[in-house]
Structure 1
Amino acid sequence: MTRVRGIDALRGIGALAVFGCHINQYWAFLHLPGKLPQLSALAAHGVDLFIVISGFCLALPMTRHRPAVDAIPFWKRRALRILPAYYVALLAAFALAALPPTWPLLAQSPAGGGDLAAYALFVQAWIPSTTGAINGSLWSVSLEVHLYLLFPLLVAWWRRWGLWSLLAASFLLSVAWSALGPLAPGTALGYSFTLPDRLSQFVAGMCCAWVFTHRRTLQRRWLVALLAVGLVMAAAVDTAHIHLGASVVWAIPCAAAVLLFTGPVGDWFAHTPMDGFGLRSYSFYLVHQPVIQLAAPLVALLPSAWPVYWLVGGAVVLLVTTLVARVLYRWVELPSHRLSRKARTGRAGVEPVGG
């Protein structure tokens, strides 16, 4: 199966959305007017989009035949693909979060060995006190690892009972899990950063892969309408601070966006710089938060006006983050991708699905 045009660009859009959200979150001096802070906060759901895209890409090669996955080789390829860049970015962020000159910019207290161990073992989302101890954005990589570990079981369910029953079960699990949050505040019970809550989004992406393969004639106007209605519903849920089933609601516009970008919309974006940016969006995501936090004191020296902070400071920090991500991608992520492809084909080959 060839690369699906547009999916990398969509991933890049999600990364930029999260970047914009974190500028507002970590630059306390910004003081956006009106409803801009709330709109900025909605951009954090670019992570939801990542999860749906992940389910789409992993399931797509299985949609034309009886789904099956060989667990050990699959886990090996996934590890080669994401772990090297993750650990390099983690060690750099840990040094910054532990050293006296920089830790006050990144965390509430200096990072310690326990925090590093939680991140290295991908359990920081299950220990809320460590989630933001080094680089809070890395919780989603922890979640991806858990989804990869579970993927062979999801495929087994798919083979036995069908994909749509898996979607229904994952939706029920997400709603039930989110309902547990008020029972044990401050713990991982009901925590939205964990697998029971976000599995619904990953499975929604798997369903998008099936729809893309078997029903390619979905009309664009219906997808646009679903995206618009889904965004309004999801924004309303966030605005009302409704946590029950919020991940399920956000799965709707994200799934619509994925299907929309598998057609002419994605073809158009594939000819823009966003496509190349999307290829490096994983490295960009890994490093963006520390760069934003470290740059805060310098950006605060600009003339005191939020448009200046956004247009000048934001543009410079975006450029710096992109350059750092490019180095990480060129020297760490790209070589690990090549190893992953060799593990799949036994030689240098082309990854079946984009991203």
Structure 2
Amino acid sequence: MNYIVVNNTNKELDVVNLETITQSNHLNWLTQVRGAAAIYVLCHHAVRQVTIVGEHAHDPLYRLIQLLTSYGHYAVDVFIVLSGYCLMLPLLKKGNFGSSIDFYIRRAVRIILPYYGALALTLILIYFFGTGLQESSWAKHSLPISFESVWKHLLLVHQWFPDTQSNINGAFWSVGVEFQIYLLFPLFYYAGHKIGFLNTFYLLTVVAYALWGMTYYVNIFNPSENGTSIYYCALFYMGVMSAHYAHQENKVYPALLLTKHPRVTMLLAVGGIVGLAGLSFVISYINPALTLPLQIQSFFIGLFVAVLFYLKGCKKIDFTYFNHTATLKCFEWVGVIGFSVYLLHDPVIAIVWSYLVLPMHLPYYWLQAVIEIVLGLIISIGVAFIFYKYVELPCHRLSKSLGKVLAGNY
């Protein structure tokens, strides 16, 4: 095996397995996870388009579909952990972070340029289809559009304000959050090598959630679940730490403990996700006025997902017998264009609902939801594929080219 020894000022040397990193850079499972999360978010927003009124308001089949697709925020948690994991892999191979400025430039080209393209396309769609969307549930948070909202979106600070967090395109709030985490990533990386990745995780979690608690108490910087979301720094670092320990030979004790009985650990992590979703449902069912804050749920979802990523990364759990199934191939294909799907699905499914599904006058809400999901998936993925080919992919290639010019490898 090939190894690299990374200097760690925390009185240790990190021995990193280069072979597992090289393989992991191209592992299909990472793309499959991204695709599955993107599809789930799309289904979550599609079902929310259905407006409940009249005698079928308690349609049990619709309520079941609604329940199964009501955890869209969990999928965003997965995206954040996945982002940290994927960004850490090439840094492990390289052995150092390199220039922070180079990293920022590449991330801006890779993320902000496609985001601006999606913002422009969303505004174009609203211009041509906005009249027919006025009565939709989507319009309640996305319209009307103001100049203030546009410039806040351009500066990626729209999620800081309740009146613009979901305006224009309800999926954009997390793009602003994630890019601001990228600005802090060099600091997180250096802290990990200075005081240890586990210690950094403890410190970052306490600080991030303390800051969120302060903003919540004072009610500034939009502490809602679709707001500033500073607590996502902890989830991002869970992904970073998961990748770090998955490919490190000299693992710390907590990492060794997780791999002692990997299948039991996997079942506990999956059970934790399902159990948390069930607990959240039971609490809201017993008393709709009570909720388990999504910000708190996010921590545990991120932790369970990071554990699963860690086990998969160090090959302690394997699902090779699923690798050639049609479902995973579909997830993998969608995962390739997953960012484009996420950027554009929100206005597209609103148009699908108002212009295609609603005029059908379908008699049952469950049928409306199913048709909205199917048509929403087909049309959103089709639009996303075109956007990926002509906008996101060129930006991705430009980012790589800049990396070579700047002698960066992120």
TM-score w.r.t. the length of structure 1 is 0.88
Tell me what 1:275 maps to. 332
Q: Which has the larger radius of gyration?
A: 2
Instruction: For 2:301 and 2:98, locate their aligned partners in 1 and report how far apart those are by CA, in whole Å.
Output: 28
CA contact (8 A) 1:237 1:246 kept: no
Looking at structure 1, the residues matched to 72 and 229 of structure 2 have their Cα atoms a distance apart, in angstroms, of: 21
Shift of 1:64: 5.3
CA apart distance, 1:199: 0.7
1:107 aligns with 2:166: no
Q: Quote the offset at 1:10 in angstroms.
A: 0.4
Opposite residue 139 of structure 2, the aligned amino acid is A
Q: 2:231 maps to which residue?
A: 197
How far apart, in 2, do the equivalents of 1:248 and 1:230 lie? Answer: 12
The more displaced of 291-300 and 305-314 is 305-314
Kept in 2, the 8 Å contact 1:147–1:199? The answer is yes
Structure-1 residue corresponding to 2:31? 8
What is the distance in 1 between the residues matched to 2:47 and 2:233?
28
**What code does the residue aligned with 1:101 have?**
T
Aligned match for 1:232, one of 274, 278, 285: 274
Residues 352 and 375, structure 2, Cα contact 8 Å, conserved in 1: no
- Quick one: which amino acid aligns to residue 292 of structure 2? I
**Larger deviation, residues 60-69 vs 334-343:** 60-69
- Alpha-carbon contact 2:47-2:369 (below 8 Å) kept: no
**Residue-by-residue CA offset, 1:226-260 (whole Å, 9 max, x unaligned):** 32232134325633422263321121222134335
Alpha-carbon separation, structure 2, partners of 1:38 and 1:188 = 30
Q: Which residue of 2 aligns with 1:62?
A: 91
CA deviations on 1:172-207 (whole Å, 9 max, x unpaired) are: 13432443465245x425333324211111000001
Q: Per-residue displacement from partner, 1:296-326 (whole Å, max 9, x unpaired)?
A: 1221224222342233332122100010000
3-state SS of paired residue (1:101)? helix
Q: Deviations over 1:19-46 (max 9, x none)?
A: 1111122222495634543432113311
Partner of 1:141: 175
Q: CA deviation at 1:279?
A: 0.6
Is the CA contact 1:190–1:197 (under 8 Å) kept in the aligned structure 2?
no
Confirm whether residue 22 of structure 1 aligns to residue 40 of structure 2: no
Q: Distance in 1 between matches of 2:132 and 2:186?
A: 41
1:37 equivalent among 59, 62, 66: 66
Q: Give the fraction of aligned pairs with identical amino acids, expressed as a percent.
A: 25
Structure-1 separation of matches of 2:224 and 2:364: 36
Distance in 2 between residues matched to 1:257 and 1:65, nearest whole Å = 24
Once structures 1 and 2 are overlaid, which stretch shifts more, 123-132 or 310-319?
Answer: 310-319
CA contact (8 A) 2:345 2:380 kept: yes
CA contact (8 A) 1:191 1:197 kept: no
8 Å CA contact retained: 1:93, 1:290: yes
- Shift in CA distance, 254/294, structure 1 to aligned 2, threshold 3 Å: same
Residue 242 of structure 1 aligns with which residue? 292
The answer (yes or no) to whether the contact 2:169–2:347 under 8 Å persists in 1 is yes
Give the root-mean-square deviation of aligned CA atoms: 2.8
Matched, 1:309 2:365: no
User: In the TM superposition, what is the alpha-carbon distance from 1:162 to its structure 2 partner?
Assistant: 1.3
Shift of 1:294: 1.2
Aligned residues: 349
**TM-score for the superposition, normalised by structure 2:** 0.77
